Amino acid sequence: MKIKIGTRASQLALWQAHYIQSQLEAAGAETEIVAMETRGDKVLDVALSKIGSKGVFTEELEEKLLNEEIHIAVHSAKDLQSDLGPAFEIIAFTEREAPDDVLISDRPVDLSQPLVIGTSSVRRVAFFKRYYPHIQLVNMRGNLQTRLRKMREGQCDALALAYAGVNRMNYNGLIVHRFPLQEFIPPVGQGTIAVEISVSLDEDTKNFVKSACNNEITEKCLLAERAFLKEMNGGCSIPVFGYARYTEEGIVFQGGITSLDGQNRILVEQTGTEPAGLGRQAAFQVLENGGREIMEEIKSGRGE
């Protein structure tokens, strides 16, 4: 069996594709990696929230899935839109790395002092405004290496990033702060890799890939998170967050939404055993307790 693996062309995306490749080859498959740039990779001078919130990093890869140019597409799970539509499905989530956010810099930083921090995430911007209102934020797009170059050119003092990406690129030595999960609650999917297919993919290949790559505990957590995100119906312009962890009592899910200035945060925590139902129930609770008003305010532009 030969499996063509589609991926973005950045170093981090290729690391993820090679990781999936190693899982497939260990299970006995031949593989080929097909790398490409997506719209999100090409448009770097505009904030993600301004160039479209759905499919920014996935559309071109999905076209190749439909055209059968590739068998699977490998993504950071946090980059996948909540509703893939009827033509696609996710069949595997890898074991999750630590999901927290970190700050990286070439020098020690003191978060109690004025700083300039680069980030492209509206969620992180909102949390910085909530917990560190004295810090100046600048929009920082591009792959990790591009952002590091911009930081070293003096555009910011430090970068706010996901630990998983920093770790995969071996930049752990630059970590100067790890944000507590109770403050900087992660976005849905942070820390895990997702494998997407066209629903027309043959069952033998589908089952092979799932068996080789899927982590069942991560899958249960991500099904809850993604059900939450789908019910919230947000996007890159909405600071929605959600994180599930697996315990002996079941899946513990924390999720919510914050206003763009970080001052109004709706947060719920629920435990359950049925992932999708848990995520939907949490979303309903968030929306009914002020989340809907926050979302409408942001979408109307009044939350700017």
Considering the candidates 8, 41, 78, 213, report the single residue annotated as catalytic.
Answer: 78
Considering the candidates 8, 124, 220, 226, report the single residue annotated as catalytic.
Answer: 124
289 within 8 A of 266, measured Cβ to Cβ: yes
The yes-or-no answer on residue 110 being catalytic is no
User: How far, rounded to the nearest angstrom, does the alpha carbon of residue 57 sit from its chain's CA centroid?
Assistant: 11
Q: What angle do CA 202, 208, 211 make, to 5 degrees?
A: 135
Considering the candidates 8, 96, 147, 220, report the single residue annotated as catalytic.
Answer: 147
Between CA 128 and CA 135 the distance in angstroms is 7
The yes-or-no answer on residue 78 being catalytic is yes
The yes-or-no answer on residue 245 being catalytic is no
Between CA 286 and CA 74 the distance in angstroms is 31
The yes-or-no answer on residue 156 being catalytic is no
Kindly report the backbone phi and psi dihedral angles of residue 96, in degrees, each rounded to the nearest multiple of 5, phi listed first: -80, 135
The yes-or-no answer on residue 130 being catalytic is no
Span between the terminal Cα atoms of the chain, in Å:
52
Considering the candidates 8, 96, 123, 265, report the single residue annotated as catalytic.
Answer: 123
Kindly report the backbone phi and psi dihedral angles of residue 284, in degrees, each rounded to the nearest multiple of 5, phi listed first: -60, -45
The yes-or-no answer on residue 236 being catalytic is yes
DSSP-derived 3-state class of residue 73: strand
Strand locations in 22-153 (E): 30-36, 72-76, 88-93, 101-104, 116-119, 136-139
Considering the candidates 41, 79, 100, 157, report the single residue annotated as catalytic.
Answer: 79
Considering the candidates 96, 141, 168, 220, report the single residue annotated as catalytic.
Answer: 141
> Could you list the active site residues?
78-79, 123-124, 141, 147, 236
